Amino acid sequence: MSKLTEIMNKRMAFSFELFPPKTDDGLKKLIGDGGVLDRLAGLYPDYISVTYGAGGGNIGANLEVLKAISSRKQGIVPITHFTCIGGTKDDLRQKLQSYLDNGINHILALRGDLPFGWTGTGGDLRYATELVAFIRKEFGDKFTIAVAGSPEGHISCRSIDADISYLKQKQDNGADFIMTQLCWDMDQFRWWIDAIRAAGVTLPVDVGIMPVLDAKATMNMALSRNGCVLPRKLAEIISKNWIFPDPFTADAEAKDKKSDAAYDEKKASFKEAGIEYTVGLIDEYRVAGIDGIHLYALNKYDDVARIISEAGLIDRV
Ligand code: FAD
């Protein structure tokens, strides 16, 4: 059993997700001395995962961030996200071997989002189920494998039953635990967790939480890819702090002239309400029978640390 599944069998795990910055300056702010990673590491998460561009275009920066995580003294497990989009078996084998060569043996095995208009991955493997089977066939137990779970159903699934059956197949093919897509609809989540357990999925479920800090980012996450349900409470926070003419235009204009006189106040008031909402959401998840909280840290420290502290996720003994 891997270190992380052992932890999740004993207690709730706690982790962050980072993304590889696109610029040298961004990378320095994240992994340089005294940067965001150092500060997040001081909160002693069990693991930190690092996202991966669908076709692997950002693998260099992804690996740098992963290596920086393993070099921190806190013993935090680095997990790379990994997709099979566009990869031949040879290509995928080489990339996976290169992670092992760099000491990275934890992976979130994903299909990846298909670019608009594509009907398949353009590579040798079609689904995450096949990627999990491939990793086990080629590398045995060298990797701990996490897989994605979608409490609302993946945006292109035939049905939620089909989606859950494929989740079970990921377990059967050798996955170790589940990391979920964000879900604000707690009734749906509670239904899903019962449904996957009834379907024989016994893997630990680590829940992905996106902190609600900014209206534009929240709407983007909900609607740009996943079609997430926005509960009334969250919709009210967005409406009460609406920046006119709309948050997207207003943000673009903010540098020169502010289209809404209360721009700054609304941004700040959204964030306050959003943090309170996120903390409440973590409370609800913690009593819903989950095994871990995985916070999208968005490469930030202050707001993330505040959420963790207000949610009481860490015992400071
Ligand atoms: P799959 O499990 O393969 O599912 C894709 C679709 O196919 C679903 O509709 C499913 O029902 C169906 N399906 C699955 N298996 C089969 C099968 N055997 N036969 C027929 N149909 C099947 N993307 C990135 O590019 N980079 C990232 O770093 C990244 N990180 C993520 C982190 C998390 C926690 C999550 C939840 C998602 C992340 N994604 C990332 C997005 C992910 O790549 C997309 O959601 C993608 O569209 C589906 O990936 P999957 O692994 O869930 O696919």
Query: Could you give all domains of the chain from N- to C-terminal order, each with its CATH number?
Result: 3-213+290-315 (3.20.20.220)
From residue 162, alpha-carbon distances to 168, 170, 191, 212 in Å are 10, 13, 15, 30
pLDDT above 90: percentage of residues in the chain: 91
316/292: higher pLDDT: 292
Distance CA 36, CA 190 (A): 34
pLDDT band (50, 70, 90) for residue 211 = very high
Strand partners, 13: 292
The DSSP secondary-structure symbol of 115 reads P
Summarize pLDDT for 235-258 with one digit per residue, the tens.
Answer: 999 999 999 999 999 988 876 667
Choosing from 63, 81, 110 the residue with most ligand 1 atoms within 8 A of its CB, the one to mutate for a pocket test is: 110
pLDDT band (50, 70, 90) for residue 32 = very high
- Residue 21: is its pLDDT beyond 90? yes
Q: What is the pLDDT of residue 261?
A: 87
Q: What is the pLDDT of residue 138?
A: 98
Q: What is the pLDDT of residue 203?
A: 98
The mean pLDDT value for 266-278 works out to 98
**128 Cα to the center of ligand 1, angstroms:** 6
Q: Which atom of ligand 1 has the smallest separation from the CA of 52?
A: 28
Instruction: Given the residues 6, 17, 64, 276, select the one marked as catalytic.
Output: 17
Q: Which atom of ligand 1 has the smallest separation from the CA of 112?
A: 43
Q: What is the pLDDT of residue 14?
A: 96
The mean pLDDT value for 18-42 works out to 97
pLDDT band (50, 70, 90) for residue 98 = very high
Amino acid, res. 147: V
CB 263 within 8 A of CB 2: no
Summarize pLDDT for 273-307 with one digit per residue, the tens.
Answer: 999 999 999 999 999 999 999 999 999 999 999 99
Summarize pLDDT for 124-155 with one digit per residue, the tens.
Answer: 999 999 999 999 999 999 999 999 999 999 99
Distance CA 117, CA 121 (A): 11
Q: What is the pLDDT of residue 255?
A: 67
The mean pLDDT value for 176-195 works out to 98
- Residue 229: is its pLDDT beyond 90? yes
Q: Name every protein residue with a CB atom under 6 angstroms from any ligand 1 atom.
A: 51-52, 54, 81, 83, 108, 110-113, 127-129, 148, 154, 156-157, 162-163, 166, 169, 179, 181, 208
- Residue 121: is its pLDDT beyond 70? yes
CB 227 within 8 A of CB 219: no
CB 173 within 8 A of CB 132: yes
**41 Cα to the center of ligand 1, angstroms:** 28
Q: What's the distance, Cα to Cα, between the start and end of the chain in Å?
A: 28
Q: 152 catalytic, yes or no?
A: no
**162 Cα to the center of ligand 1, angstroms:** 13
